[in-house]
Amino acid sequence: MKAAKDDMRFNAQLYTVAEAARFLGVPTSTFSTWARGYVRRPPGRRVVRGAPILTSIDAPPNYPTVPFIGLAEGMVLAAFRKAGVSMQHIRQAVAVLAKELGLDHALASERLYTDGAVILFDYAESRDEHLVGLTEVVSRQKVFAPVVEEYLKRITYAGDGWAERVASPTTDRAVVVADPHRAFGQPIFVRGAALVESVLGRWKAGESIVHVAEDFGVPASDVEDYLRAAFPVAA
């Protein structure tokens, strides 16, 4: 299962780091290290470097750099972090999955969902004691922990085995989705298919949620749920 070079899921730059982070409900600084890597210079110690662990494409500042497949990979990373796995263990897990599945974008592959838990458990048990921390995401039944499972269920896979749609994990139920074949990948509401940014723009301009929701054909409860997640202080 190889990624097609002309597949827009892999090569169309759809999201800035900030946009992808907001969709996934993680700090922008966290997503930035996933997409760009990091360099740390502790006083009196050697420089520490971390390579990117999700798909990103070079672009000028403030321009979109993350393709849809990178967003899907970020979904899995966000799930691991939600489960309490350290970045060190996440990096080790990504390396193991890429090697064992033989895929460059293993986190965005349906095989992660079907085979990933078994691979990580067996690897941690029999090969590398340093991966014991992955028990936070994989149980002795060789299935993903509930919090990770819930995130993975929000990824829809195409017939070729690669992610084709992701529902934002910021709300308890799927309210907003990203689909590279709809609205050029920009987040839309599941019910009504309105662009999230268009709805937010009207709300930020002072219009009531009820009126905005009615105009866009989106249930007011969906708009309220998203706003509560995106702007917790205001909500």
Side-chain-facing half-sphere of 201: CA atoms under 13 Å: 7
What's the confidence (pLDDT) of residue 235? 46
Decide if 215 is inside a domain: no
What's the confidence (pLDDT) of residue 128? 56
Decide if 194 is inside a domain: no
Interatomic CA distance for residues 66 and 16, integer angstroms: 6
Mean pLDDT of 93-97: 84
Decide if 36 is inside a domain: yes
Decide if 229 is inside a domain: no
- Between 83 and 166, where is the model more confident? 166
What's the confidence (pLDDT) of residue 2? 53
Decide if 193 is inside a domain: no
Total domains, the chain: 1
Side-chain-facing half-sphere of 177: CA atoms under 13 Å: 20
pTM of the shown model: 0.89
Instruction: Answer yes or no: is pLDDT of 89 > 60.
Output: yes
Q: Which domain holds residue 128?
A: 8-186
Decide if 213 is inside a domain: no
Mean pLDDT of 57-63: 89
Decide if 16 is inside a domain: yes
Instruction: Answer yes or no: is pLDDT of 193 > 50.
Output: yes
Provide the mean pLDDT of the chain. 89
* Cβ proximity of 80 and 156 under 8 Å: no
What's the confidence (pLDDT) of residue 47? 76
Instruction: Answer yes or no: is pLDDT of 109 > 90.
Output: yes
